Structure 1
Amino acid sequence: MKVGIIGGTKGLGKTLAILLKKEGYDVTITGRDTSVGLTVSEKLGVSYSNDNKKTANVNDIVIVSVPIATTSAVIKEIANSMKKGSLLLDVTSVKEGPSNLMNELLDDDVEFIPTHPVFGPRTTNLNGQVIVLTPIKKGKWYPKVIDFLKKHKMRIIEASPSEHDKMMSIVQILTHFSYISTASAIKKLGISIKDTRKFASPIYGLMVDMISRIVSQNPILTYSIQLENENGENVRETFTESVLELKDVLTNQDEEKFVKIAIEATKNLDDIQAALGRSDKAIESLNHEISSLKNAVGKEIALKHIYSEEVHIGILTDLDPEFVTLNTKKGEKNLKIANIKILDEENLKEWKLINKEIKTQSISCVFPNSCNEAIIAQAISKLDEITDVKITDIYHGPQVANDKISITFEIDAFDVSAFENVETFLKGFGGIIR
Structure 2
Amino acid sequence: MEPHFNRKSVTIGIIGGTGLMGQWFRRFFESAGHRVLICGRKTELTEDELVRGSQVVIISQPLSAALETARRVGPLMGETQALMDICSLKSEIASAMLESTGAEVVAAHPLFGPSTESLKGQNVVLCPMRGSVWAAWLGAELSKGGAKVTQSDPVTHDRMTAVVQGLTHFITIALGRTLADLGLAPETLLPFATPIFRAKLALVGRLFAQDLSLYAALVGKNPEAAWVIEAFMKACQEAKGSISPGASPETGMGYLENIRDFLGDYSARGLKESDFFLAALAGYGRKTE
TM exceeding 0.5: yes
Tell me which of 100, 103, 117 is aligned to 2:95.
100
Moved over 4 A (4+): 248-252
In structure 2, relative to structure 1, the CA distance for the partners of 1:10 and 1:23 (3 Å cut) is: same
Could you give the per-residue CA deviations for residues 212-256 of structure 1, whole angstroms, max 9, x where no partner exists?
A: 333333111111111221211111222223224433556782234
Q: Is 2:260 the partner of 1:266?
A: yes
Match of 2:34 in 1: 25
Which amino acid is the alignment partner of residue 27 of structure 1?
V
Tell me which of 215, 220, 224 is aligned to 1:222.
215
Match of 1:136 in 2: 129
Rounded Cα–Cα distance in structure 2 between residues aligned with 1:259 and 1:78: 58
Rounded Cα–Cα distance in structure 1 between residues aligned with 2:235 and 2:196: 23
Secondary structure of 2:125's counterpart equals strand
Could you give the per-residue CA deviations for residues 99-124 of structure 1, whole angstroms, max 9, x where no partner exists?
A: 222222221xx211111000011122
In structure 2, relative to structure 1, the CA distance for the partners of 1:56 and 1:257 (3 Å cut) is: farther
Match of 2:277 in 1: 282
In structure 2, relative to structure 1, the CA distance for the partners of 1:177 and 1:286 (3 Å cut) is: closer
Q: Indicate the larger mover: 53-62 or 19-28.
A: 19-28
Could you give the per-residue CA deviations for residues 233-292 of structure 1, whole angstroms, max 9, x where no partner exists?
A: 1112222232244335567822344443333333333511111111112233445x46xx
State whether residues 98 and 114 of structure 1, in contact with CA within 8 Å, keep that contact through their aligned partners in structure 2.
Answer: yes
Tell me which of 13, 18, 23 is aligned to 1:4.
13
Larger % of helix: which? 2
| Residue segments in structure 1 that go unaligned for 5+ positions in a row | 38-47, 291-319, 325-434
Rounded Cα–Cα distance in structure 2 between residues aligned with 1:194 and 1:29: 42
State whether residues 57 and 83 of structure 1, in contact with CA within 8 Å, keep that contact through their aligned partners in structure 2.
Answer: no
Match of 2:75 in 1: 80
State whether residues 29 and 36 of structure 2, in contact with CA within 8 Å, keep that contact through their aligned partners in structure 1.
Answer: yes
State whether residues 15 and 124 of structure 1, in contact with CA within 8 Å, keep that contact through their aligned partners in structure 2.
Answer: no
Match of 1:323 in 2: 288
Could you give the per-residue CA deviations for residues 152-199 of structure 1, whole angstroms, max 9, x where no partner exists?
A: 111011111111111111000000000111011112211121332222
Rounded Cα–Cα distance in structure 1 between residues aligned with 2:147 and 2:242: 44
Rounded Cα–Cα distance in structure 2 between residues aligned with 1:145 and 1:212: 34
Q: Is 2:153 the partner of 1:147?
A: no
Rounded Cα–Cα distance in structure 2 between residues aligned with 1:228 and 1:53: 29
Rounded Cα–Cα distance in structure 1 between residues aligned with 2:231 and 2:146: 36
TM-score (norm 2): 0.87
Rounded Cα–Cα distance in structure 2 between residues aligned with 1:72 and 1:322: 44
Rounded Cα–Cα distance in structure 2 between residues aligned with 1:265 and 1:13: 41
In structure 2, relative to structure 1, the CA distance for the partners of 1:233 and 1:132 (3 Å cut) is: same
Tell me which of 89, 114, 131 is aligned to 1:121.
114
State whether residues 179 and 215 of structure 1, in contact with CA within 8 Å, keep that contact through their aligned partners in structure 2.
Answer: no
Which amino acid is the alignment partner of residue 274 of structure 1?
R
Which amino acid is the alignment partner of residue 23 of structure 1?
A
Secondary structure of 1:136's counterpart equals strand
Which amino acid is the alignment partner of residue 166 of structure 1?
R
Q: What's the RMSD between the two structures over aligned residues?
A: 2.3
1:19 shift after superposition: 2.4
Q: Is 2:56 the partner of 1:56?
A: no
Rounded Cα–Cα distance in structure 2 between residues aligned with 1:252 and 1:198: 25
Q: Indicate the larger mover: 122-131 or 234-243.
A: 234-243
Rounded Cα–Cα distance in structure 2 between residues aligned with 1:257 and 1:138: 54
1:84 shift after superposition: 4.6
Rounded Cα–Cα distance in structure 1 between residues aligned with 2:241 and 2:36: 56
TM-score (norm 1): 0.59
Rounded Cα–Cα distance in structure 1 between residues aligned with 2:60 and 2:258: 40
State whether residues 61 and 86 of structure 1, in contact with CA within 8 Å, keep that contact through their aligned partners in structure 2.
Answer: yes
Rounded Cα–Cα distance in structure 1 between residues aligned with 2:207 and 2:251: 32
Rounded Cα–Cα distance in structure 2 between residues aligned with 1:97 and 1:140: 23
State whether residues 63 and 93 of structure 2, in contact with CA within 8 Å, keep that contact through their aligned partners in structure 1.
Answer: no
Larger % of strand: which? 1
Identity %: 26
In structure 2, relative to structure 1, the CA distance for the partners of 1:284 and 1:252 (3 Å cut) is: closer
Q: Is 2:23 the partner of 1:14?
A: yes
State whether residues 68 and 221 of structure 1, in contact with CA within 8 Å, keep that contact through their aligned partners in structure 2.
Answer: no
Secondary structure of 1:135's counterpart equals strand
Rounded Cα–Cα distance in structure 1 between residues aligned with 2:273 and 2:244: 34
State whether residues 127 and 152 of structure 2, in contact with CA within 8 Å, keep that contact through their aligned partners in structure 1.
Answer: yes
1:66 shift after superposition: 0.7
